[in-house]
Chain A
Amino acid sequence: MIRKVVPNAQAAVEDIQDGMTLMFGGFGLCGIPENSIAAVRAKGVKDLTCISNNAGVDGFGLGLLLETRQIKKMISSYVGENDEFERQMLSGELEVELIPQGTLAERCRAAGAGIPAFYTPAGFGTEVAEGKEVRHFHGKPHILEHAFDAQFAFVKAWKGDEAGNLVFKGTARNFNPMMAMAGRITVAEVEELVPAGSLDPNHIHVPGIFVHRIYQGAHFEKRIEQRTVRPRV
């Protein structure tokens, strides 16, 4: 077995440098690598390009890295709900590239699958397609999109073992598996780190080959963005 365990978040981010491209898993605040985000913030690296479906909220998630101006460019599909983000975007301090969510997911998947580029119908006829190659398949126009290249990918799983195998829970899976596949170096934080052999190999969502560093997160706040409930009668 190849062991992937590092002691903590700080050790997992020790070689991150200014100007790198980093991926962060999660959808909204669900399944985000909270501990790695905190460690990147503490390390103080700057001019980062961050690829993440969303940009967190004020004071949580990637909002923490926006607060400290560590992010130069954000690549996302949806960035609402964040006043500091809006301020930096409108003032020109923050560069933002918005891309369709399915294209974002596939650009991650392609990176982890050895596919340099692919055609998708999403965005044809819109500003997303500007400057991109168009090709027709089955009579329908598609645009060429390229795989991402990120030095680090930070993901969060429910359980993981010493070999880096990951299991997710509920909709906290979202972008985490493809980003795990895509990172040149993938750092996984888990709620529960278990010995190799404790997870059923039939139930692994991400095989350990894609994970370079794994640690058990010290603290998970798991904040809920929109608490919607049915009142008990």
Chain B
Amino acid sequence: MREPYLSWPEAAWLIMQFTICANYLFMPQLLYSMSGRLSWAVTMIAVLPAVAGVWATYYLHARFPDERLGQFLPRLVGRPFSILFGSAFILFWLGGAATNATVFAHYVSDTSLQFTPVTVLVATNVLMIVLVSLSGLKTLVRVADALLFIVVPFLLFSQFWPFFGSRIDLSNLAPMRLSDLGADKWRLAGAALAMYHGYQFVFVAGPALNPPGRSALTAGLVGTLAAVPAFLSFVAMPLLAFGWPYANLLTYPAASFLEVVAPKTGLFPIRRFDFVLTVLFRNIMIIAAMSYFYSAAQTLSDLVSPSARRMHPWFVAGLGIAVVASSAAFKGIRTVMQFTGVWVLLGALVTVLTVVLAVVARFRAGSAGRR
């Protein structure tokens, strides 16, 4: 067994990026379509199921500190259910990797690189994802660490600058009608359940945590709570700037918001500061997509071959090619958005499964411990 190398602040930072991912490019529209101008409230309501999920993940990690999801699932729920439950997680994570890589490729294609085929943009994203996955979890962690000083200042800037830029009109949130939340309540409940799911990374990175146990809880809570202001700003800021229903007509409200509040630079080629932010947010998307992809690949590998030391390189490369190929099925951002609607429901299922697994672990004392 290797020395654990993942401290809780590193894990929290990774969980935050895993949670934020490219959500800012698709979550606002999704929420607007469900709950109108009160969508921003959902980002806070969603904290409750997230805390339950964090606790359940921590509980499972505490019961199986040296094992990943794919390793402890068969002993916890039996072989047939492990395949069923594991498939739900794998599908959700693979869907997350594909969605992130694809939605970002569409955004870049729509705004700056008009002549580059979207598949090429997806392929460049997936190339990096596969490279890091081939190098292992430690490389993923270190890449995420290295981005801290590059991404955090701009992330903070994008959240605080608008308040000094006089583009914000708080009255755009009015009138607040609670009935907006009930307009599409089942889909909305699904979105709320799935919104903060970054803590699931503990299922894969758990054995690397140093120290194990409580650090999983701390990292899960801190990472999730750190993602809340980011989500809140991505959903609320476009409403504050553009008003309703204008915000609902935009394809990428949060990205458009960055465009209109970005300070004027006037200097070519940094003519549009939002492009700079886009490049930086691309890093978050890549980290998140890597985490999704790595989690899916590792869990699939563990389910098939629990004792294997490493994932087979051809298996990882093949999975990467599958992601690129599946992205080709998305004809335009509209199809991607339709898929995210389904993907979010899958996320809700996975959150429920996480809690169910913790409950099962609580009542099946004999399943704990090393294999």
User: Do A and B bind?
Assistant: no
Interface residue ranges, B against A (CB under 8 Å): none
Q: Which residues of A contact B (CB under 8 A)?
A: none
